[in-house]
Chain A
Amino acid sequence: MYVAVKGGERAIENAHAWLAEERRGDKGVAELSVAQIREQLSLAVNRVMAEGSLYDPDLAALAIKQARGDLIEAIFLVRAYRTTLPRLGASKPVETGEMACDRRISATFKDVPGGQLLGPTFDYTHRLLDFALDAEGEIPEAQSGEPQAAPVPHITGFLNRDGMIEQEPQGDATPPDLTREPMEFPANRALRLQNLTRGDEGFVLGLAYSTQRGYARNHAFVGELRVGTVPVEMEIPELGFAIEIGELRLTECETVNQFKGSKTEPPQFTRGYGLTFGMTERKAISMALVDRALRWRELGEDDLGAAAQDEEFVLAHSDNIQATGFLEHIKLPHYVDFQSELELVRRLRREAQATRQDQQEAAE
C-alpha cells in the first residue's frame, strides 16, 4: 500500500539547488558543452541511446550532462522523453547487408571477401593509461586507404550456400512492440530481441558470460561483427512511396554456434543475433549469445535449468529502468508501511513471550 507523505518542500528545493551546483563542480574548471560530450564521450552517448531505445546523439549527450555522468539516470531521462513523442510510424527493416562499414571482422574466416576491417577499435591496445591525453596536443590525422565501392556481404551468407547453417525464416509480419503492449510469455524471437537490444549492458553481458562458463554452453564463434551506417526508410502515406528519413550507426553481431543436432533438427551451425544502436559491440556480442541460449526450445535442445535459458528470468530483469525504479523506490518514505510492520513485530513478540510463559508455568 502506498501512503502519501507531506512536507519537506523547502529541503527538497534546497537539495536540488545543491545538486545543480555539484553537477557544475569547481567553477575554476571549464564547463562541458553538450557537443563536447556528444563528440568526445561518444561511446557513453551510444550506450544511452541503445538502452534509452531512442537514437538521438544530442539528446543522449544532454541526458549524460544532466545526470552527472550516471548513465542509468541518463537512460531514464531519455526513456521519459521518448514517451512524450508522438509515433510518426515504423521504418522498413534496415538492411544491414548494405551497411557502410567502419569495422567488419570475422573470428571464423580469415580470408573473407571484402576483408577484415579493424576500424577505430580498442582491440590490440595495451590498456596502459596514456598520460599524453592529459596534456595539450594535436592528434595526427588517421591514414586513408583505397575505399571499397560495394557493400561487403554478410559472412554467414557463405555458410548458407552449403546448407551448413540454419536459414532464417523469411516474412514481413508486423513484430510485437513491448513499448505498446506489455511483455507476455512465451515471447517470440522478435520480442526477445527488442527486449535484449534495450536491456542493461551489464546484465546481458553477465548472462552471456555465464553461457561461456558452462551454464547452457552454446559454443559461440563470432561469425561476423560489423559497425557502420545504414539508411532508414519509411513509407510516407501522403507521398505514397518510401523515402530515407535518416541514417543510423549500428553494431551487428552474428554468432555461429556448434550444434550436434536434436530430436527435430539436423547437425548444422545455428545462429545467435545481436543488433544495437551506435558502436556498442560488447552489448551486441552479449545479445547474440543470450539470443542463442534462449532459442533452446525451438531448436529442440534440453532445458539445463541455466539462467540464460530462462526466458522469463532474462526478459523480466533485463530492463535497467524498471529494475532501478523498483529498487530505488525502497529508499523513499515508507513510514506508514514500516509503522504497521513495527506493530506486527511487537505483537508477535508479545504473543511469543506469552506462549513461553504459559509453557513455563505448565512445566512448573
Chain B
Amino acid sequence: MNDATEDRKIWMGLLARASAADLADRLGALDRLPQAHDLRAPEIGGVMVRGRIGGTGQPFNLGEMTVTRCSLRLESGEVGHGYVQGRDKTKARNAALVDAMMQTVRAGEIRASVLAPLAEAQAARDTARAAKAAATKAEFFTMVRGEDQ
C-alpha cells in the first residue's frame, strides 16, 4: 500500500469516527465550499461485524452496525467517498466532501483546519479514558492461608 493510500485510509477512518457536529462546524468555518454532485446520495445501511473465535481464530458473525455512505463528484472532477458509523446522512455527505477536497489543491488547508482538530479531539477523548482506566489499576496479593502452613 503506497503512502497516498495509507494517508487516505487514515483520514477516512478519522471522518467515520468524528462527531457529526464537530465535522459540520469545521466544514462550516471554511471559505466557500465547492459545488458537488451526488454520485450516490447518502444511504443508510447495515454492516455485519465479524469477530474471531477465541479472539485469534476463525471469523464468526458478531452482529450488525449502522453505517451511512455517500459518494459525490466535485465540479473539478475529484470523487469523494464517505462511510461513517451511524445514521447521519449529513455527516456521510460531509465526510465525502472532505475526502474529495483532500484530493484538490486545498488539501493542506483541509488537513490543518478540519482533519487535525478532529484528530486532536479524538486523541484527547481516548487519552482521558485511558487515564481513567489507568487510575483503576489494581495490585492483588495472595495471602498465605492457614492450611498451607
Complex CA gap A194/B51 in Å reads 10
CA distance A209 to B134 in the complex (A): 32
A239 to B71, CA, bound (A): 11
A289 to chain B, nearest CB (A): 14
* Proximity bits, B33-58, A CB within 8 Å = 1, else 0: 00000000001111111111111111
Docked complex Cα distance between A236 and B80 (Å): 13
Q: Is the CB of B46 within 8 A of A87?
A: yes
Q: Is B63 within 8 A of A54, CB to CB?
A: yes
Query: Provided the pairs A55-B65, A244-B17 are in contact, do residues A97 and B46 lie with their beta carbons within 8 angstroms?
Result: no
B124 to chain A, nearest CB (A): 11
Q: Scan A88-129; emit 1 where CB is below 8 A from any B CB, else 0.
A: 111111111100111100000010000111111100000000
Contact of A119 among B52, B54, B136 (CB under 8 A): B136
Q: Mark A219-256, 1 if CB is under 8 A from B, else 0.
A: 00000000010011010101101111111101010100
- Would A103 and B9 count as touching, CB distance under 8 A? no
Query: In the complex where A56-B66, A90-B50 touch, is A243 in contact with B57 (Cβ < 8 A)?
Result: no
Q: Which residues of B contact A50 (CB under 8 A)?
A: 63
Within the complex, which residue of B16, B49, B58, B71 is in contact with A55, where a contact is CB–CB below 8 Å? B49
**Shortest Cβ distance from residue B13 to the other chain A in the assembled complex, whole angstroms:** 3
Say yes or no: B55 contacts A154, CB within 8 Å: yes
A8 — which chain B residues lie within 8 A by C-beta? none
Is A147 touching B65 in the complex (CB atoms < 8 A)?
Answer: no
Instruction: Confirm or deny: B112 has a beta carbon within 8 angstroms of a beta carbon on chain A.
Output: no
Inter-subunit contact A245/B85 (CB<8 Å): yes
Shortest C-beta distance, B14 to chain A (Å), equals: 8
Chain B residues lying within 8 Å of A117, measured Cβ to Cβ, are 133-134, 136-138
Say if the beta carbon of B29 comes within 8 Å of chain A.
no
